[in-house]
Each structure stands twice: as C-alpha cells, then as structure tokens.
Chain A
Amino acid sequence: MVKVNGDFLDIAGKTLLEYLESTNYDTRRIAIEKNGEILPKEKYGKTKLEDGDIIEIVSFVGGG
C-alpha cells in the first residue's frame, strides 16, 4: 500500500505519473513529496511507487 495525503491506496507498482493520470489532480498546480523529499515534475514518469511509500501532494489555497 502507498500512503497518499493520509490515505492508503493500492497503487504500488504504478509510476507516479500513471497514478496521477488516474485522478483529477491538476499536475500544473501541484508539488509532490515522496518519503519526505521533493520530487521534481520531470521525475513523475520514472518514479515507481512501492509498498510503504509516503506521498504528499500539495497545492496553493487561500491564506493570510
């Protein structure tokens, strides 16, 4: 299982890009951290998700 933004998902084996394409994330507007390290956009396609990976996907929201 891979933990994405707090939820456990059965997506081990896919690349990060494959996972993202199966969702509604706007890839122009997100940044991703894998196991605490920032993952540059160009690596999404080469990054294979493994059991135990922790992924954080963030974007901007309103704030002060």
Chain B
Amino acid sequence: MTDDKLILGGHEFNSRFILGSGKYSLNLIEAAVRDAGAEIITLAVRRANTQKGENILDYIPKGITLLPNTSGARNADEAVRIARLARELGCGDFVKIEIMRDSKYLLPDNYETVKATEILAKEGFVVMPYMYPDLNIARDLVSAGAACVMPLAAPIGSNKGLATKEFIQILIDEIPLPVIVDAGIGKPSEACEAMEMGAAAIMANTALATAGNLPLMASAMKLAIEAGRKAYLAKPGRVLSRGASASDPLTGFLRE
C-alpha cells in the first residue's frame, strides 16, 4: 500500500483524508491532524484581527500542506482575488475553489468555478474545485486545468452522507483526475462507502467539529477511509441478483 499515493498537482500524499479546520478550537487542531493522519488541512482567508494574538498557523504541525479555500467568494473574480491573497500569505500554491451565491444551501456555483479554475491554473495554482457533481462541468474543470474535482456528497455542514452517490460514481468512472468527496460526509461508514466506490480522498470538517469527541472521530474516519481504499483496491466481489451461493462444499454431507 505504500506506493498507493494520492497525487495532486505533482505532489504525493499518503493520506487520503483532507481535514477542515473550521468551527473547532485551535487547541484541538494538533490532535485532529495527528489522529486523522492528515497531510492536508483547509483554511479560510478573512480580514485579520488585531485584537487576538493567536494565529491558526501556530497550531498546525510542521510539514502539513495548507489548502486555503476561497469561501466568501460569490463569483470567479472574488475567488481569484482570495486565492492570490492566500498565496501572498506564503504557504504554497494549493487552493480549494469555493464559490457560493446563496447562504441557505451553500451550493457551489459550477459555472463561476470553472472560470476561476481556468484563471488560477494558468497562474500556477494547484486548483482543487469544490463542485456540484455534474459530469459536463467536471469535464470542463479537467480542461480548465484542475488538479482534482471535489463533488459534494450533501450540503456543507449537513452530515447527511452520500446524497449524490449515483452522480459521484459517474464522475469516478469518467473523470481522469482524483475525485475527492467534499462536504456532507457525517459518519465513517459514509466515508468508507465513498472510498469503496473509488473516491480518491475524503474531505471532512463538520463531521469532526460536531462530534462529541473530535480526535476520536478523526481516528474513526481515518480507519474508515483506509478500509474503503483497501476494499476498492481489492475489488469487491459480485452481488447476486437473486438466490444464494454456498460458501461450503456441496458434497460429503453426513447423511444417507
């Protein structure tokens, strides 16, 4: 399994669990990263606060790849602006494009996302676009230079699981880039199922932030993602449409 790498923009990762850092205490980040076995953590960009002295970067262990998102962007131009500011903050070229026009469902604007992907990929960013799982848009994102596609499983923060399962499967089958399931995964069983389907990685934040014990849930998610990945590589056995198939020999019975 050691040669089973997740490759994003030429960078190799062993972990297939991308961790969010929102909605929980900075003091829990180190334990979350450790117990998740995560190598990538997402961040948001906001107006700096002069009041508090503490910065989230001081809480993230060394060697972890930072993945700034463009949350707050309502269109491609705003996403590009946030991505450039994030790069100026001096923590690499990764960016997760997140463009939303409504605050009720927080659904990504696929069209604006393609536009932002094209601009940022040309500027050398490793572009990871959060998207609604639509095959045509996913193909446009490939053409635009995305490093992966990140379809949502369910609305952000909902913990509703794989509501878009059939459409994520289509992306996995048709898109020649890593398909990273982002948003909506609430439980390890759902993460495992997505990985069994062939997802390249799972991104989760709320599932951990709203769990009773965050580091323990991080560990459970990690195990589920690894189990699902191994099952995918092992190729799950067939399902009978009806009837049964004995697992024991059908000869040598102790009768007659």
Contact = CB atoms under 8 A, between A and B. Distances in A.
Interface of A: 5-6, 23-26, 29-33, 36, 38, 40, 56-64
Contacts, number: 96
A13 B99 CA distance: 37
B45 interface: yes
A38 B206 contact: no
B44 A63 contact: yes
17 contacts: A31-B86, A31-B90, A32-B88, A58-B46, A59-B49, A59-B55, A60-B57, A61-B43, A61-B46, A62-B56, A63-B43, A63-B44, A64-B21, A64-B23, A64-B156, A64-B157, A64-B203
A59 B43 CA distance: 10
A63 B42 contact: yes
A10 B206 CA distance: 41
A12 B157 CA distance: 43
B27 to A, nearest CB: 12
A63 B55 contact: no
A57 B23 contact: no
A62 B205 CA distance: 10
Nearest to B130: A64
A63 B71 contact: yes
